[in-house]
Structure 1
Amino acid sequence: MNLIQRAQDILLKPKDTWPAIAAEPATVSSIYQQWLLIVAAIPPVAAFIGLSIIGVGGFGFGFRVPLFAGIGHMVLSYALSLGMVYVLALIVDALAPSFGGTKNPIAALKLVAYGSTAGFVGGVFSLLPMLSVLGLLASLYSIYLIYLGLPVLMRNPPEKSVAYTAVVVVIGFVAMLVISALTATALPGRHMGFGGWGAQPDVALKVPGGEVRIDGSKMEEMARRMEEAGKRMEQAQKRGDSDAAGKALGEMMGAVGGTGGQPIPATELKALLPETLGGLARESFEAQNNAAMGLASSSARGRYAGGDRRVELSITDMGSLAGLAGVAGWANMTVDRETDGQVEKVYKQGTRTVREQYRKDGSHGEVTVILPNGVIVEARGNGVDPASLKKFVDGLDLARLETLQRPAKS
């Protein structure tokens, strides 16, 4: 099997490629050796290079994950990803009869292994941590790949593929949270990450120093929204209306992120950045509107300096994926972690999620606030105490940011 050609085919011609994959003889060993062991290495290797070799930051300050910690994180995330593919395949296989499909463990493993291609390949964006969000957007295409592959591999009625996909996506998202929580042990002080329907229980994941609690009712709501969008996509495909089908696909992927829409224009976000910040003069600023795979985001960033103090203040809106930002829309995160050199706290402040991380020697600190509408505000600085960083964030008039209206979808 030509690895590059197979990746191109599943990404660009999935409808033609899934039948070929279904017909191929395969074993668990062959799927792992010929495919998974290679493509699953892309995200952890790229993340290691991006965080430990290239580093994060600029304009006078930066951060690199220590080499041994980066290697530990890379190895652990790689191993967990390989394991999670197998576990998710077992779940896909077990669910097949509930959606009119046929149990087939090898077919289920093929579905998850090849359906995850977009997410694995998108991991290359982690080479530059500032572009890692594009990897998240790319991974959402895997939802569509799995949706197309289910009736071919698991032989369920096509009309049940939407509900089947929704359940698999919800379980896969929880699995992603588990991987993030577990790999946090190898990368101390960094981000943790993001039949019929019945009431879903809450899920609590223990992480070092705290927990992540997921509201099960929100998971159910997300799945229902995906199902509704998927039905519209099927109807559009039957009519041969490619534009409507593409729009419905965007709504289906956007359902993973919760309520949103087009992002707030970057010019509006830039207007909120002050000329001075606690006596620091603004040296530069930038505003960007980004789009990838039909999903858009916007951001504005200002850099301030004075003496030995430097601060970068940013505002980011993920648009239709706003609810997915940091899982803020439907997760309560609590972390209280302290080591010899640094402190990390994640807590709820009303409806907002706040993360503070700083070095005890005062050399570097970060404060991130995720608003209930999914807008993210972050202050990162050198030589500035955490209390000042928090004031800088609060000074942006967060209440106003929470009420800004996103443009209606065209």
Structure 2
Amino acid sequence: MIHHVLGLFTHPDQEWRQIRGEEESISHLYLTHTLLLAAIPAVCAFIGTTGFGWTLADGPPVVLSVGSALVMSALSYIALLMAVAIMGAFIHWMARTYDATPSLARCIAFATYTATPLFLGGLAALYPHVWIGLLVGTAAVAYTVFLLYVGLPTFMNIPPDEGFLFSSSVLAVGLVVLVAIMAATVIIWGLGMGPVYLGQA
């Protein structure tokens, strides 16, 4: 896993070709890749919100209770795993339109590796300052989109023009999934499972 992660940042096109040649079961993929990468933002957010606290503007940091942070981190972890599975399933379904026949496991692998910058960007949550989060988040999203547009034609072995349309469709669905997660978060908070603040750190 580690060499693929490094390769996606140093020589992405070559790394996508190597990933394309691998075949893993969904269970093995989740155990060795997705579960570990998705844990980065969840664990870092738990440590950051309970140890350092959120810093908004110039105000003092505010920390969450351990129980509240644990629940929110667990829910975000589950949401990330579900998002990867949904995106992988959509890519698998959409591939038929472009005469590509990847397995579902390979499509989930593609979704996992494409989201790698977002997962690694979760390291910024160790010190959850709004400006740090904004800068790191913007960079992570930008590189994720780059990996999507560069990697999909290579991974699916389709022409670049078809790859551009395919990637655009995947990006649109990804935005829909993101909005759905945000809406679910609002609903969950409304049911009384929102953050519990302890005050200033």
- TM bucket by the smaller chain? 0.7 to 0.9
Larger relative helix fraction: 2
Q: Which amino acid letter does the alignment assign opposite residue 136 of structure 2?
A: G
Structure 1 contact 119–140 (Cα < 8 Å) conserved: no
1:30 corresponds to 2:28: yes
Unmatched 5+ stretches in structure 2: none
Alpha carbons of structure 1 residues 117 and 60: separation in structure 2 relative to 1, 3 Å: closer
CA gap of 1:64–1:185, structure 2 versus 1, over 3 A, is: farther
CA RMSD of aligned residues (A): 2.7
The DSSP-based 3-state class of the residue aligned with 2:61 is strand
SS at match of 1:140: helix
Instruction: Quote how far apart the aligned CAs of 1:179 are.
Output: 2.2
The alpha-carbon deviation at position 25 of structure 1 amounts to 2.6
Equivalent residue, structure 2, for 1:80: 79
Aligned-partner Cα distance in 2 for 1:179–1:134: 21
Go from structure 1 to structure 2 and tell me whether the alpha carbon gap of 1:184 and 1:73 turns closer, same or farther (over 3 Å shift).
Answer: farther
Cα offset for 1:100? 4.2
Contact kept in structure 2, 1:96 and 1:156, CA below 8 Å: no
Tell me the equivalent position of 1:101.
100
Question: Match for 1:163: what amino acid?
Answer: L
**Pairing of 1:133-152 with structure 2 (within 5 A):** 133-137=134-138, 138-152=140-154
Query: Residues 63, 175 of structure 1: CA spacing in aligned structure 2 closer, same or farther, 3 A cutoff?
Result: same
What is the aligned partner in structure 2 of residue 155 from structure 1? Answer: 157
Secondary structure of 2:17's partner?
Answer: helix
Aligned CA distance change for structure 1 residues 64 and 104 (closer, same or farther; 3 Å): same
Report the count of equivalent residues.
193
Q: CA deviation at 1:155?
A: 2.7
Matches of residues 161-310 of structure 1 in structure 2 within 5 Å?
161-184=163-186, 188=189, 208=190
Evaluate the alpha carbon distance shift between residue 25 and residue 60 of structure 1 in structure 2; reply closer, same or farther with a 3 A threshold.
closer
Q: Is the 8 A contact 1:101 1:157 kept in 2?
A: no
| Partner secondary structure for residue 64 of structure 1 | strand
Matched, 1:14 2:12: yes
Deviations 1:283-338 (A, max 9, x none): xxxxxxxxxxxxxxxxxxxxxxxxxxxxxxxxxxxxxxxxxxxxxxxxxxxxxx9x
Q: How big is the shift at 1:151? A: 2.0
Question: Using the alignment, how far apart are the partners of 1:37 and 1:60 within structure 2?
Answer: 35
SS at match of 2:157: coil
- Cα 1:143–1:60 shift into 2, 3 Å: closer
- Residue 183 of structure 1 and its aligned partner are, at CA, apart by 3.8
1:55-94 paired onto structure 2 within 5 Å: 55-57=53-55, 61-94=60-93
- Cα distance in structure 2, aligned partners of 1:38 and 1:20: 21
SS at structure 2 position matched to 1:46: helix
Give the Cα–Cα distance (whole angstroms) in 2 for the partners of residues 140 and 13 of structure 1: 16
Structure with more of its chain in strand, by fraction: 1
Kept in 2: contact 1:51–1:64 (CA 8 A): yes
Shift of 1:53: 1.6
Aligned match of 2:39: 41
Shift of 1:16: 0.8
* Aligned-partner SS, 1:129: coil
Once the two structures are TM-superposed, the CA of residue 185 in structure 1 deviates from its matched residue by 5.7
Where does the alignment leave 5 or more consecutive residues of structure 1 unmatched? Answer: 189-207, 210-336, 343-362, 365-410
In the superposition, relative to structure 1, how do residues 135 and 178 fare at CA in structure 2: closer, same or farther (>3 Å)? farther
Matches of 1:44 and 1:15, distance apart in 2: 29
- Secondary structure in 1 matching 2:101: coil
Q: How does 1:394-405 map to 2 (within 5 A)?
A: none
Q: Could you tell me how far 1:159 is from its partner in structure 2? A: 1.3
- The C-alpha deviation readout for 1:71-124, integer Å capped at 9, x for no partner, is 001011101111111111110111112234335312211210111111111111
Check 1:52–1:182 CA distance in 2 against 1; reply closer, same or farther (3 A cut).
farther
**Separation (CA, whole Å) in 2 of partners of 1:42 and 1:182:** 21
Q: Is the 8 A contact 1:94 1:103 kept in 2?
A: no
Aligned 8 A contact 2:13 2:154 in 1? no
| Residues 51, 63 of structure 2: 8 Å contact kept | yes
Q: Which residue of 2 aligns with 1:122?
A: 121
